[in-house]
Amino acid sequence: MEEIAKALVAPGKGIWAADASPKTIMKRFQEVGIQTGENTNKRFRETLFATDGLENYISGVILNDEIIREERLRNLLTNKGILIGIKVDKGTVDLENFPGEKITEGLDGLRERLAEYKGIGAKFTKWRAVITIGENIPTHVCIGLNVEALARFAALSQEAGLVPVVEPEVLMDGKHTIDEGEKVTFKVLSNVFTELAEHKVNLSQMLLKPNFVHHGKDCLKRASDEKIAQRTLKVLKETVSPQVPGIVFLSGGDSAIEATKHVDRMNEIGGVPWPIAFSFERALEGPAMIVWGGKDENIEAARQVLLDRAKKNSLARSGSYSESMEG
Ligand code: 5MM
């Protein structure tokens, strides 16, 4: 598991989160004007998984339950040497008695599902907890329940021989300043690592998938890219064990270019014990989805757009990306 974790954050590489649930991916298609049918996601995945050269920049792809069951789609990745991951949470529901807060479900029957996923070739797993910033939230009940679920997920994954990617996402939604974003991210990550230790999770056999420390989307005071990179590194240094083999960021609603810039700047600054990599969904596949538009005649162009984003994020792994590379 340690070797798999290290391979996922090998120099110049990162993870592609192609794991949006059917409901989320349909919403994304509709947002960009793609006509959706029963097989739209399978067609989208097939189009992009067949991209030549993807393996130069992408170490692993996270799939959802529907896609991992398609042997043909799995083979498109594994034949290139790309590792297969699986999102094993079952999504979020409202947390009873705590308006505005969410809890992630999916622990029931997880041991059995993990064995099944392992049997069809999965090497790593992912679970996302969602924390919202707002008036009097997050509460300690919400943080406590979510970090406990993350720790149980991580322990069960390791028991099954699968590397857990632990994803506690502090949402960018809201009016909060970057100071508040920093405070909450610090609190959440501190709690995550306390809980992982209490659940005896092996920290050298997992990856952390955090948010950038960020201002809220509706905050009038926008933090600079420099501040986002500096504050994110500061919080990581304060909370994350050096034993963790790597940090793979989610993009969280940042544009593709912004997300690449953040990873690039953090790698330029350096001074941390972990590889700083990416595990983007929207910031990687979003531009390719727009170009594809659901049309066969755009397949090759969509592949080139995905490859271009993957390459730029690969450059960001060594702080060698520059915004001037964008067309
Ligand atoms: C936060 O979302 C994760 C990373 O994606 P971004 O880089 O776009 O922020 C992503 O892996 C997410 O967890 C999956 O798409 C699953 O989402 P849902 O909510 O559909 O289960």
Identify the CATH number of the domain in which residue 9 sits.
3.20.20.70
Q: What is the distance in A from the centroid of ligand 1 to the CA of 62?
A: 10
Q: How far apart are CA 229 and CA 209, in angstroms?
A: 15
131 lines ligand 1 (CB under 6 A): no
Please indicate whether residue 128, judged by its CB atom, sits closer than 6 Å to ligand 1: yes
Give the Cα separation of 237 and 239 in Å (integer): 6
Split into its structural domains, the chain has a count of 1
Residue 6 CA from chain centroid, whole number: 16
> Is the C-beta atom of 282 inside 6 A of ligand 1?
yes
If one counts every other C-beta atom within 10 angstroms of the C-beta of residue 103, the result is 18
pLDDT at 327: 83
Phi, psi for 52 (deg, rounded to 5):
-65, 135
What is the per-residue pLDDT for 233? 98
User: In the prediction, which pLDDT does 254 show?
Assistant: 98
Query: What is the per-residue pLDDT for 197?
Result: 98
Count, residues in the chain: 327
Q: Is 190 exposed, middle or buried (0-12, 13-18, 19+ CB in 10 A)?
A: middle
Question: And the tokens for 230?
Answer: 């500096």
Total-model pTM: 0.98
99 Cβ contact list (under 8 Å, min separation 6): none
Cα(169) to centroid of ligand 1, in Å?
Answer: 9
The answer for residues whose C-beta is within 8 angstroms of residue 6's C-beta and 6 or more apart is 245, 246
Which among 209, 281, 285, 312 is annotated as catalytic? 209
Long-range contact pairs involving 30-37 (C-beta distance under 8 Å, separation at least 24): 32/289, 32/290, 32/293, 33/293, 34/289, 34/292, 34/293, 34/294, 35/294, 36/294
Count CA atoms within 13 Å of residue 232 on its CB side: 30
Distance CA 182, CA 190 (A): 12
Cβ of 262 closer than 6 Å to ligand 1, yes or no, is no
List all residues 6 or more positions away from 30 whose beta carbon is below 8 Å from its beta carbon: 36
**Ligand 1 pocket, 106 CB below 6 A?**
no
Q: Is 162 exposed, middle or buried (0-12, 13-18, 19+ CB in 10 A)?
A: buried
Record the tokens describing residue 272, joined without a space: 């941390």
Q: Which long-range contacts (CB under 8 A, 24 or more apart) does 227-230 make?
A: 227/178, 228/178, 228/262, 228/265, 229/262, 229/265, 229/266, 229/269, 230/269
Please provide residue 244's backbone torsions phi and psi, each rounded to the nearest 5 degrees.
-65, 130
Hey, whose CA ends up nearest to atom 15 of ligand 1? Answer: 20
pLDDT in tens, the chain (327 residues): 999 999 999 999 999 999 999 999 999 999 999 999 999 999 999 999 999 999 999 999 999 999 999 999 999 999 999 999 999 999 999 999 999 999 999 999 999 999 999 999 999 999 999 999 999 999 999 999 999 999 999 999 999 999 999 999 999 999 999 999 999 999 999 999 999 999 999 999 999 999 999 999 999 999 999 999 999 999 999 999 999 999 999 999 999 999 999 999 999 999 999 999 999 999 999 999 999 999 999 999 999 999 999 999 999 999 999 999 998
What stretch of H or E contains 14?
strand 14-17
> DSSP characters for 218-234?
T-SSPPPHHHHHHHHHH
CA atoms within 13 A on the CB side of 220: 0
Pocket test for ligand 1, best of 61, 281, 289, 306 (most atoms within 8 A of CB): 281
Tokens standing for residue 233: 């590194």
**99/104 Cα distance (integer angstroms):** 15
Write out the residue range of the structural domain in which residue 148 sits: 2-326
Among this protein's residues, is 226 annotated catalytic? no
Residue 220 makes CB contacts below 8 A (sequence gap 6+) with: 175
Tell the residue nearest (CA) to atom 11 of ligand 1: 17
